[in-house]
């Protein structure tokens, strides 16, 4: 049985955006790389079985500042794991992507097998797959139903009905801290994130064919902020996001109007890196949220105080792509009632 308060990929959910990046560049967090490799396989299988495109392998370009620690560490992992990549000089970048300005970019790392996922669509496909496999899907708010001994025996829905289960899994994204305040309230922080899409002017459509891109530690604003973009998110425009937190956020009641100051920063970044888009109009804007763990690890563990209840989440701004691989790891741990494999122990609450 699968329950969601507002339906798959709804407008409040972190997975409710049109697109999310899938990449194996992970800097010193190399333990996520085999998970992304597995996730790529599973996303590909899902798009075949659902007969729906879910993955756009247009590549990911990482623009490096000096010394490019993140890229250097990623490339060391790529060599060890046999992941394809290219190292591009400024000259090569200018030749390959003439619509971009690289004057302050000494070099870049390119991942050809990475790209973007169609996020909201992926949620709908999973929802339908559960139903087609004979599972029950329900739009309702759920909370754990406890027996007299304090063990979780399933879920209680908004209409008061109780649905029994041997094992219950809560994967409620940014709602996890309020659902489980004692276990997670101090461990997860929900932050506001504004995202913008711009419409290239006629004649500048080549921008929509660029790879997904990211830039750590830009010097443009003097604050080392991290920017990323997905050039053509299902025809919504040229999407641009800043990784910096927009402060604490209430995912249920927050009014999703974008911050004009953030929009101004986004425009400044856009015109610096993509000069022909300096006056491109805004075509889409969204307020979403990250569910941050202090160490940016995801979360997969038993509830520390409630037997037969598992907690999944803590996406920390990078969790979407990993969904199917994390689901597989979690399912194995749950079915065999065992700890996560060694390299993934940091995803447990006790680490």
Ligand X SMILES: Cc1cc2nc3c(=O)[nH]c(=O)nc-3n(C[C@H](O)[C@H](O)[C@H](O)COP(=O)(O)OP(=O)(O)OC[C@H]3O[C@@H](n4cnc5c(N)ncnc54)[C@H](O)[C@@H]3O)c2cc1C
CB atoms within 10 A of CB 259: 15
Spacing of C-alpha 344 from chain mean position: 18
- Of the pair 138, 276, the CB lying nearest ligand X is at 138
Nearest distance in Å: CB 103, ligand X: 26
Query: Residue 54 or 222: which CB sits closer to ligand X?
Result: 54
Residue from 142, 270, 300, 326 that binds ligand X (CB under 6 A)? 142
Pick the binder of ligand X from 33, 152, 171, 330 (CB under 6 A). 171
Q: How would DSSP label each residue in 119-180?
A: HHHHHHHHHHHHHHTT--EEES-EEEEE-TTS-EEEEEETTS-EEE-SSEEE--GGGHHHHS
Handedness of CA 109, 112, 117, 118 (dihedral sign): positive
Within the chain, residue ranges assigned H as helices are 33-50, 69-81, 90-96, 119-132, 176-179, 181-184, 260-273, 323-336
Q: Which of 83, 318, 325, 333 binds ligand X (CB under 6 A)?
A: 318
User: Minimum distance from CB of 243 to ligand X (Å)?
Assistant: 8
Q: Let me know: does 289 contact 317? Beta carbons within 8 Å.
A: no
Q: Report the 10 Å Cβ neighbour count for 179.
A: 17
115 contacts ligand X (rule: CB under 6 A): no
1/276 with CB nearer ligand X: 1
| In the complex, least distance from residue 226 CB atom to ligand X, rounded to whole angstroms | 11
Span from 3-11, 24-32, 58-66, 199-207 in contact with ligand X (CB under 6 A):
3-11
- Closest alpha carbon to 40 in 140, 117, 122, 153: 117
Cα angle: 7, vertex 9, 10; to 5 degrees = 60
The stretch near ligand X (CB under 6 A) out of 7-15, 57-65, 79-87, 334-342 is 7-15
Contact letters (x/-) for ligand X, 270-309, by CB under 6 A? ------------------xxx-------------------
Residue in 118, 317, 325, 344 binding ligand X, rule: CB under 6 A = 317
Q: Is 313 in the site for ligand X (CB under 6 A)?
A: yes
The three-state secondary structure class of 349 is coil
* 25 lies in the site for ligand X, by CB under 6 A: no
Nearest partner of 197 among 14, 19, 13, judged by Cα: 19
Q: Contacts with ligand X in 241-260 (CB under 6 A)?
A: 241
164 preceded by cis ω (within 30°)? no
| Shortest distance (Å) from residue 118 CB to ligand X | 12
- 106 vs 226, beta carbon nearer ligand X: 226
Instruction: Please report whether residue 172 would count as binding ligand X according to CB under 6 A.
Output: yes
Binder among 1, 2, 10, 106 for ligand X (CB under 6 A): 10
Of the candidates 329, 251, 300, 253, the residue with the CA atom closest to the CA atom of residue 42: 329
Binding site for ligand X (CB under 6 A): 3-6, 10, 13-15, 20-21, 141-143, 171-175, 179, 193, 195, 241, 288-290, 313, 315, 317-321
């Amino acid at each position: 049985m699968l329950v969601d308060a507002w339906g798959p990929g709804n407008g409040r959910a972190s997975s409710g955006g049109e697109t999310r990046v899938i990449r194996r560049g992970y800097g010193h967090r190399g333990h996520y790389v085999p998970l992304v490799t597995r996730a790529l396989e599973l996303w590909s299988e899902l798009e075949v079985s659902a007969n729906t495109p879910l993955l756009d392998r247009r590549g990911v370009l990482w623009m490096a500042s000096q010394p490019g620690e993140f890229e250097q560490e990623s490339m060391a992992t790529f060599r060890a794991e046999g992941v394809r990549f290219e190292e591009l000089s400024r000259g090569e970048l200018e030749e390959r992507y003439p619509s971009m300005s690289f004057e302050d970019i000494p070099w870049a790392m390119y991942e050809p097998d990475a790209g973007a996922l169609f996020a909201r669509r992926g949620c709908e496909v999973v929802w339908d797959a559960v139903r087609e496999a004979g599972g029950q899907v329900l739009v309702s708010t759920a909370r754990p139903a406890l027996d007299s001994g304090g063990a979780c025996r399933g879920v209680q829905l908004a209409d008061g009905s109780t649905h029994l289960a041997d094992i219950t899994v809560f994967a409620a994204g940014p709602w996890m801290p309020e659902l489980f305040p004692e276990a997670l309230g101090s461990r997860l922080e929900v932050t506001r994130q504004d995202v913008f899409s711009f419409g290239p002017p006629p004649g500048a459509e080549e921008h929509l064919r660029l790879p997904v891109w990211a830039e750590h530690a830009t010097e443009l604003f003097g604050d080392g902020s991290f920017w990323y973009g997905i050039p053509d998110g299902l025809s919504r425009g040229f999407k641009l996001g800043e990784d910096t937190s927009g402060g604490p956020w209430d995912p249920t009641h927050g009014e999703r109007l974008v911050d004009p100051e953030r929009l101004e920063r986004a425009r400044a970044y856009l015109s610096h890196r993509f000069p022909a888009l300096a006056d491109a109009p805004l075509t889409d804007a969204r307020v979403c949220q990250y569910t941050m763990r202090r160490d940016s690890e995801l979360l997969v563990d038993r509830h520390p105080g409630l037997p037969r209840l598992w907690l999944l989440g803590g996406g920390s701004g990078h969790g979407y792509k990993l969904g199917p691989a994390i689901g597989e790891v979690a399912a194995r741990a749950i079915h065999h009632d065992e700890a996560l494999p060694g390299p993934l122990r940091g995803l447990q609450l006790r680490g």
